[in-house]
Amino acid sequence: MKNLVELIDVSLSYGKTPAVSGLNMKVEEGSFAAVVGPSGCGKSSLMKLVTGLMPATTGAVVVDQHEISGPVSIVGMAFQNPNLLPWRTTLENVLLPLEVVRPERHQFRAKKQEFVDRAMDLLRIVGLESFASHYPWQLSGGMQQRVSLCRSLIHQPRLLMLDEPFGALDAFTREELWDVLQAIWLERHFTAILVTHDLREALYLADSVHVMSNRPGRVVRTVDTSAFSRPRGEQTFLDPAFNANVMDLRSDIRSQRMPIEIAPAKPAGKA
């Protein structure tokens, strides 16, 4: 299988601050990759590099066999905040990218029924078919995030970038959404890169988990999780190998974290 994304010895600095350095990573077409690491290690910077929103300071970012030098068109993005437009229904929110992005915006009137069918099909997979006419305020946080996932896939991107998409949800809803995302991915088989702080989420969803070092970030270890059969579910959490992997990742990240310096307490009575 060919790589859809490849980062080759990439560095990115913000002024004098190096965010990532010596970053190498490969993501096979059709696979699901996750990126974990200590806070501030450069996970969001990696997202900006792969989508072409930020150019690499040195090194090369290759997407679909081409070294990129600007925003990438084959990508869809989903973030922690679903950012739905409150005056639009679920269906209208999902359709929004097709109304504003080329080439679909020029075909929107002519192909509207086809686009609506496409949106309804996505809403069916995430279990929201009967909420197509509801407004965001009539939906729970988890339902809004499902809509956001459908919106990020409506233009049929080959690459889906997910930046902490479930970070704001409660633990139960989050786990529910893991299965929703897994279901869409199993049906559509796009390539996915998920940035997350949640190690169980990374291991549950991905085929490979890339662990980043402290800033400036680089990949220090890649864990192959393809041994856990799909679809994953309750049985995966009960697998001792899964939990051993969680513990290993936890110790990887702990060893990367900056030590927190705690000033010694001043003796009582002294200013």
Ligand X SMILES: Nc1ncnc2c1ncn2[C@@H]1O[C@H](COP(=O)(O)OP(=O)(O)OP(=O)(O)O)[C@@H](O)[C@H]1O
**Taking the complex as a whole, how short is the minimal distance between the CB of residue 146 and ligand X, in angstroms?**
23
- Please, which residue, 174 or 215, has the CB nearer to ligand X? 215
- Please, which residue, 46 or 139, has the CB nearer to ligand X? 46
> Which range binds ligand X by CB under 6 A, 40-48, 78-86, 127-135, 257-265?
40-48
**Taking the complex as a whole, how short is the minimal distance between the CB of residue 50 and ligand X, in angstroms?**
12
Taking CB under 6 A as the criterion, the residue among 33, 42, 75, 123 binding ligand X is 42
Residue (of 209, 80, 86, 94) closest to 156 by Cα position: 94
- 174 part of the interface to ligand X, by CB under 6 A: no
Taking CB under 6 A as the criterion, the residue among 34, 41, 75, 147 binding ligand X is 41
Taking CB under 6 A as the criterion, the residue among 146, 174, 200, 215 binding ligand X is 215
Taking CB under 6 A as the criterion, the residue among 14, 81, 226, 250 binding ligand X is 14
DSSP states along the chain: --EEEEEEEEEEEETTEEEEEEEEEEEETT-EEEEE-STTSSHHHHHHHHHTSS--SEEEEEETTEE--S--TTEEEEESS----TTS-HHHHHHHHHHHSTTHHHHTTTTHHHHHHHHHHHHHHTT-GGGTT--GGGS-HHHHHHHHHHHHHTT--SEEEEESTTTTS-HHHHHHHHHHHHHHHHHH--EEEEE-S-HHHHHHH-SEEEEE-SSSB-EEEEEE-TTS-SS--HHHHH-HHHHHHHHHHHHHHHHHSPPPP-PPPPPTT--
- 40 part of the interface to ligand X, by CB under 6 A: yes
Taking CB under 6 A as the criterion, the residue among 21, 45, 148, 191 binding ligand X is 45
- 39 part of the interface to ligand X, by CB under 6 A: yes
DSSP states along 246-260: HHHHHHHHHHHSPPP
> Which range binds ligand X by CB under 6 A, 11-19, 108-116, 182-190, 252-260?
11-19
> Which range binds ligand X by CB under 6 A, 42-50, 148-156, 181-189, 248-256?
42-50
- 214 part of the interface to ligand X, by CB under 6 A: no
> Which range binds ligand X by CB under 6 A, 12-20, 71-79, 142-150, 260-268?
12-20
Residues that bind ligand X (CB under 6 A): 14, 17, 19, 37, 39-45, 215
